[in-house]
Structure 1
Amino acid sequence: MKQKLTKWRLFTVFGLMALVLSGCGEPFLSTLIPAGEAGQTAYDIMMLSTWIMVGVVIVVSILFAVAVIKFRRKKGDTTIPKQVEGSHVLEILWTTIPILLLIILAIPTVIATFDLADTKAMDKKNEDGTTDAMVVNVRASLYWWEFEYPNQKIITSQDLVVPTDQKVYFNVKASDVKHSFWIPAAGGKVDNNVENVNQMWLEFDNEKAAEADNLFYGKCAELCGPSHALMDFKVRALPQDEFDQWVTAMQAVDAEAAEETPTDPTAAAGQEVFNQKCLSCHAVTTADARPEAARTAPNLANFGDRELVAGILEHNEEELKNWIEDPEQYKPGNKMTGTYGELSDQELDQLAAYLMGLKVEQ
């Protein structure tokens, strides 16, 4: 008996913990702390549906309690309660009320669905082929992300940088298998398909971005392989002037700048190692002229400015060397595994020094 009571107590404790922890979240990751218009719209609809469900549960629970208490059979009572089957009033009530609740939920949901799917601004081209709208092409691969800014002629990877207080439009696709582009705090997710391009828009509120230190987490939300859970990226939401400065700095990383020899001897030697071992897959220029099919690995032009190594490890030389030496240990099934010869400890040190020096922001 005591064992059963103990189990029930544990069950109660864990149940209460789950209830309390379900309300926990961080502004850089939680859908319950929306960071922009799209996220706020989804949050409002979720809360509306939640309150409707809670209301239904409360009403049903009260009716159930009343029926159990008031109409329970008493000892010696053989009377048959009044029968109400076939009551037109009850039938109208339990048919009409659910319909009204569905209408209340359906109207804002349909309006929001069409609003969030409105990407016509992406189709309005200027004479030079650019758009007034902020556009980013998102391409997902096993297990990394590429972000192309067609108006600014910039290609980068792993860290998405966007301006705040304006709509950012996305063309979303995949290069190998189905993935899903999701920034929980910013709004809903959309599938990255190989056979077609999906479109969406998100907006990052400047004040909400400041609360999250201008950094949000992005995830792959479609099971895509053994390292699906590790397919993360970071989103830096910057005020417009800071975003413009970033764009200018990125555009300055052209082919000539990439070929400049670093002043540090170790990094200079690392550049030679990179050119021999890595350049066939990776690029270090933001205006990557290679066709999309040839961009089989992340662009490393601003690698030194990134938040994490491979999207999951601390951004320092030691973790970078660990990743280069054995990427399979950290992301099983990734395409970098086994694509180059072994490097000596000295070459690893040199390569890490070179990559960590690839910075566009001072």
Structure 2
Amino acid sequence: MKTRLRKWRLISLFAIMTLILAGCGEAKLSALKPAGEVAQKQFDLMVLSTLIMVVVIIVVVILFVIAIVRFRRKDGDDSIPKQVEGSHKLEVIWTTIPILLLIIMAIPVVTYTFELADTSAMEVKDKDGKTKDAVVINVRANLYWWEFEYPDYGIFTSQDLVVPTDEKVYFNLKASDVKHSFWVPAAGGKMDTNVDGVNQMYLVFDSKKSNEAQNLFYGKCAELCGPSHALMDFKVVTKSKDDFNSWVTSMQTVAKEPKVAEGELAKQGQEIFNKSCIGCHAVSTSGNGAGMGPNLSNFGERERIAGFLDHTEENLKKWIKNPDDYKPGNTMAGKYGKLTDEQIDALAEYLLNLKVEGSKHID
């Protein structure tokens, strides 16, 4: 008896914890608070399928209760109830209803599948060979960071994806090492990035929902890719069309005139960077360096260090000193040799002043 009570207590405890944990999370990282056209359509499908399942469960439970109450064996009654076999009416009913439910589900699923797979706008080019009336971003997933190229504007960036609101943003998705998966939960479903072949998709970020989220959403790798898979995050910064165009202009300006370090300490840091880091990282928005590490051209404006650490000078120094303590298996560890604390201070000063728009990151 005591053992049963303990089991029921555990079951009750787990049920309560499930309800509590179901309320955890942020709007920036929730697929249940859609922030655009794609996410809204996918959310509508989830609601529709959930409603159908709930209705089926309710009907089955009602029939089950009726059967138990109405046809239960009464005391002293040992007679065998009338046996019903081969009822064509019942067979038609329980065959037709599931077919109808599947049709109800199939129509929007098939419709949305073809709509969301339509990336034909990416193929429409102007006379200069640029995509006409569409923003295209090439996404490359790496262990354990993200690179974003805007081919029509000739600029590269990493970790912070900047997109315009209220229009379709198209993506070419590829991986450089192992399979990853590109996912912005609030904006739409995930899609794999493969080493061979390019997958394509589009997302839409609603301006009103973006304002509610302070123009910042979270992206994740949704495919197990190694020991630091859970830390392979990126941020999505949304801007109005005019602000996005201003950002592009600023990035293109830096591409032509790379930022020069100001201050004695920052200049020392730039010298250290040119000796130890530039083989993997670029500080110009026009290129991705050796492609081995994130582009750092606007590092001082980014939302996180290494994709997940708070953007502070202290965290940056810790990351430079021993990145493997924070992201096991990352490809940065051991590449640049041992730096002294003074060299790390100078390098951090230089990196934190790498800004394109002169704005500060959002905490």
Give TM-score, length-normalised by structure 2.
Answer: 0.95
More displaced 10-residue stretch of structure 1: 64-73 or 350-359: 64-73
How far apart are residue 4 of structure 1 and its match?
3.6
State how 1:252-271 maps to structure 2 within 5 Å.
252-254=253-255, 256-258=257-259, 260=260, 262-271=261-270
SS at match of 2:146: strand
Shift of 1:243: 1.1
| 1:19 positional shift | 2.9
CA–CA distance in 2 between the matches of 1:63 and 1:13?
30
SS of equivalent to 1:189: strand
Matched, 1:64 2:60: no
Partner residue, 2:324? 328
Please state if 1:98 is matched with 2:112.
no
Give the distance between the partners of 1:79 and 1:320, measured in 2 at CA: 81
CA distance in 1, matches of 2:76, 2:19: 44
Question: Counterpart of 2:28 in 1: which secondary structure?
Answer: coil
- Alignment match, 1:357: 353
> Could you list the per-position Cα deviations for residues 318-362 of structure 1 after superposition, in whole angstroms to 9, with x for gaps in the alignment?
101111111111111111011111000000000000000000122
Structure 2 residue matching 1:234: 3-state secondary structure: strand
Pick the aligned partner of 1:308 from 292, 304, 318: 304
Letter in 1 for 2:314: E
The sequence identity of aligned pairs, in percent, is 64
- Measure the CA separation in 1 of the matches of 2:320 and 2:256: 24
Which amino acid is 2:48 matched to? L
Q: Is the partner of 1:257 in helix, strand or coil?
A: coil
CA-CA distance at 1:7 after TM superposition = 4.0
CA contact (8 A) 2:217 2:237 kept: yes
Out of 326-335 and 247-256, give the one that drifted further. 247-256
1:297 corresponds to 2:293: yes
Match of 1:189 in 2: 190
Distance in structure 2 (CA, Å) of the matches to 1:254 and 1:133: 22
Using the alignment, how far apart are the partners of 1:257 and 1:223 within structure 2? 37
Aligned to 1:207: 208
Aligned counterpart, 2:49:
49
AA partner of residue 67 (structure 2): A
Instruction: Find the counterpart in structure 1 of residue 233 from structure 2.
Output: 232
Q: Which residue of 2 aligns with 1:33?
A: 33
Deviation readout 1:163-182 (Å, 9 max, x if unpaired):
00000000000001000000
User: For 1:253, what is the secondary structure of its paired residue?
Assistant: helix
Paired with 2:61 and 2:241, the residues of 1 have a C-alpha distance of 52
* Structure 1 contact 162–235 (Cα < 8 Å) conserved: yes
CA contact (8 A) 1:25 1:33 kept: no
1:139 paired with 2:151, answer no
Query: Which whole-Å CA distance do the structure 1 matches of 2:24 and 2:277 have between them?
Result: 42
Is 1:280 aligned to residue 318 of structure 2? Answer: no
SS at match of 1:254: helix
CA-atom RMSD in angstroms: 1.3
Contact between 2:281 and 2:288, CA under 8 Å: does it hold in 1?
A: no
**Cα distance, 1:5 vs structure 2:** 2.6
Unpaired runs of 5+ in structure 1? Answer: none
Equivalent AA in structure 1 for residue 57 of structure 2? V
Residues 18 and 63 of structure 1, relative CA distance in 2, 3 Å threshold: same
Structure 1: distance between partners of 2:347 and 2:256: 19
Please identify, of 156-165 and 281-290, the stretch whose mean Cα deviation from structure 2 is larger: 281-290
SS in 2 for 1:269: helix
**Match of residue 343 from structure 2:** 347
Contact in 2 for aligned 1:141/1:176 (Cα 8 Å): yes
Q: How many residues are paired up?
A: 357
Residue pair 1:26, 1:33 contacting (<8 A) in 2 also:
no
Q: CA–CA distance in 1 between the matches of 2:256 and 2:186?
A: 36
Tell me the equivalent position of 1:159.
160
1-structure distance, mates of 2:41, 2:231 = 28
- 177-186 or 65-74, larger mean C-alpha shift: 65-74
Q: Is the 8 A contact 1:271 1:354 kept in 2?
A: yes
Q: 1:24: Cα distance to partner?
A: 4.4
Q: CA deviation at 1:9?
A: 3.2
SS at match of 2:138: strand
